[in-house]
Amino acid sequence: AQKITQTQPGMFVQEKEAVTLDCTYDTSDQSYGLFWYKQPSSGEMIFLIYQGSYDEQNATEGRYSLNFQKARKSANLVISASQLGDSAMYFCASIYNQGGKLIFGQGTELSVKP
Amino acid sequence: DGGITQSPKYLFRKEGQNVTLSCEQNLNHDAMYWYRQDPGQGLRLIYYSQIVNDFQKGDIAEGYSVSREKKESFPLTVTSAQKNPTAFYLCASSIMGNGANVLTFGAGSRLTVL
């Protein structure tokens, strides 16, 4: 079965610094996708970035980049130049079986200090 | 603007009562999903539907029921058989056949059993 592991329950980062949020996944599928979502205190899930298993380049979206290491089965999120508005829960998720079902990790709570 | 509307935002229920959470989307998405989130936890899939009049159980379907009579609507009923229904419920939708299959989420409904 698919499993997503986020080992950092909480992280602190100074404003304007970069931070890496860890995510490892466990799958025997050859084709899969990896996502990161942000959940502010309001509760809504906001899509940040996607990486397909066959994508050779690491995905980037503005200040977000995904450090994809296939052999290690890791898909870490890097946020550059942290902003106070980045304070939120961050979830790593994977998709499998083309059914559109996402499996989520436990999340990492990021706090950005001024 | 296109999006997903969940209602009500907050709901209180007495033990033994059924309650229905509404989810409507105007994104013309084929697939719709219901997730449950408990405090400090990731999201767990309850039910999903890829086409009208068809739906499948997710990982924690017991005590819940759904219907998909229209493409735009995917209501979730929390029945009295659900032993611990107090949680945050998120509805999502996506386009089927899109490799990335990015899920768009609603703002969520918070259910509290008194």
Quote the pLDDT of residue B99.
63
The neighbour count for residue B92, using CB atoms within 10 Å, is 26
Quote the pLDDT of residue A27.
84
Residue A100: pLDDT above 80?
Answer: no
Six token digits for residue B11? 């709901």
- Reduced 3-state DSSP string for B23-65: EEECCCCCEEEEEEECCCCCEEEEEEEEECCEEEECCCCCCEE
Neighbouring C-alpha atoms within 13 Å toward the C-beta of A16? 1
Mean per-residue pLDDT, A65-84: 96
Quote the pLDDT of residue B97.
64
**Contacting residues of A for B29, CB less than 8 Å apart:** none
Quote the pLDDT of residue B93.
94
Contact (CB, 8 A) for B37 and B45: no
Residue A31: pLDDT above 90?
Answer: no
pLDDT, tens digit (0-9, with 9 covering 90-100), for A76-85: 999 999 999 9
Quote the pLDDT of residue B98.
54
* Alpha-carbon span A72 to A26, nearest angstrom: 10
Instruction: Give B2's contacts (C-beta < 8 A, 6+ positions apart).
Output: B25, B26, B27
End-to-end CA distance of chain A: 41
Do residue B42 and residue A50 have CB atoms under 8 angstroms apart? no
Six token digits for residue A84? 């106070």
Residue A74: pLDDT above 70?
Answer: yes
Predicted confidence band at A99 (pLDDT cuts at 50, 70, 90)? low
- The closest alpha carbon to A108, from B88, B39, B42, belongs to B42
Quote the pLDDT of residue A98.
56
Mean per-residue pLDDT, A39-67: 94
Look-up of token digits 């509404």:
B22
Mean per-residue pLDDT, A53-77: 95
- Mean residue pLDDT of chain A comes to 93
Residue from B46, B105, B109 whose CB has the most chain A CBs within 10 Å, to mutate: B105
Do residue A44 and residue B105 have CB atoms under 8 angstroms apart? yes
Quote the pLDDT of residue A106.
95
* Alpha-carbon span A50 to A37, nearest angstrom: 9
Q: Which residues is B5 bridged to in the sheet?
A: B24
CA dihedral A85, A67, A109, A5 (to 10 degrees): 160
Residue from A31, A32, A44, A48 whose CB has the most chain B CBs within 10 Å, to mutate: A44
* Alpha-carbon span A102 to A54, nearest angstrom: 18
Quote the pLDDT of residue A86.
98
Query: Which residues of chain B fall below pLDDT 70?
Result: 97-99
